[in-house]
């Protein structure tokens, strides 16, 4: 006779349901790259700056426009209202609201579990990763580290805690393992190196509070 753990099935179902609800805040750029955008308010969304977005001039915000889509394929015409190459994020705004209810923003806590959404396979739907906040030490640009996120397709994706609160967006890329953002703060160099060694596929999070202060 096969033993079935009903409680474990219920737990998985709850997580799947939670992820499905959070996916309303994951948008993507209408392009071949399908870059992630995260809704941070009813009229604002954020993504990473590096790679395909690095040609945007921070001094010319408002002159660039782009189209992003929600999970249903609905298109939104947006304009770029903020670019920060150092912290690695861009913010776009839309006259038409992205969602009816904005995500609740929250500061991350050490060892807090998170759910990261993204598009690791451009021709399919979104997928989710689970991770933990590995440290609340900020790098030179005010960013944090998580245990997972540098995999392809999760750049710009939202990072939620298990309460459904938006902690920030992931901006990790292949340079993340080299502790980007650190310069001469020698007191932090060793702790960050240890974090990177322990979590080789770590995420780099721009906290939602930084994104909010740049857009509202």
Domain extent, residue 145, equals 113-215
Please give the model's pTM, rounded to 2 decimal places. 0.81
Tell me whether residue 79 is in a domain.
no
Tell me whether residue 30 is in a domain.
no
Tell me whether residue 127 is in a domain.
yes
Helix locations, the chain, DSSP H? 6-22, 186-198, 208-215
The pair of structure tokens assigned to 185 is: 């703060």
State the CATH number of the domain containing residue 184.
Answer: 2.40.10.10
Statement: residue 6 has pLDDT above 50: no
Phi, psi (degrees; rounded to nearest 5) at 93: -130, 155
Number of domains in the chain: 1
The larger pLDDT score, comparing residue 180 to residue 188, is at: 188
Model pLDDT for residues 66-123, shown as the tens digit of each residue? 999 999 999 999 999 999 999 999 999 999 999 999 999 999 999 999 999 999 887 7
Phi, psi (degrees; rounded to nearest 5) at 210: -70, -40
CA distance linking residue 87 with residue 154, whole number of Å: 17
The larger pLDDT score, comparing residue 113 to residue 53, is at: 113
Model pLDDT for residues 16-42, shown as the tens digit of each residue? 788 999 999 999 998 777 899 999 999
The larger pLDDT score, comparing residue 147 to residue 43, is at: 43
Band of the pLDDT at 136, cuts 50, 70, 90? confident
Of the chain, the end-to-end C-alpha distance in Å amounts to 59
């Amino acid at each position: 006779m096969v033993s079935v753990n009903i409680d474990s099935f219920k737990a998985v179902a709850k997580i799947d349901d939670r992820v499905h609800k959070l996916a309303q805040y994951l948008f993507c750029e209408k392009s071949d790259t399908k870059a992630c955008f995260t809704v941070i308010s009813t009229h604002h969304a954020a993504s990473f700056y590096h790679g395909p977005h690095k040609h945007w001039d921070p001094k010319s915000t408002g002159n660039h426009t782009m189209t992003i889509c929600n999970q249903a394929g609905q298109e939104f015409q947006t304009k770029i209202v903020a670019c920060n190459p150092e912290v690695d994020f861009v913010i776009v705004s839309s006259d038409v609201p992205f969602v009816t209810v904005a995500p609740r923003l929250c500061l991350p806590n050490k060892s807090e579990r998170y759910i990261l959404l993204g598009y690791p396979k451009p021709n399919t739907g979104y997928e989710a990763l689970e991770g933990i906040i590995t440290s609340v030490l900020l790098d030179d640009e005010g960013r944090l580290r998580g245990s997972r996120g540098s995999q392809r397709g999760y750049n710009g994706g939202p990072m939620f805690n298990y309460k459904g609160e938006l902690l920030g967006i992931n901006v990790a890329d292949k340079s993340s393992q080299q502790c980007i953002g650190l310069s001469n703060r020698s007191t932090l160099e060793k702790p960050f190196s240890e974090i990177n060694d322990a979590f080789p596929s770590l995420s780099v999070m721009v906290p939602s509070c930084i994104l909010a202060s740049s857009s509202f």
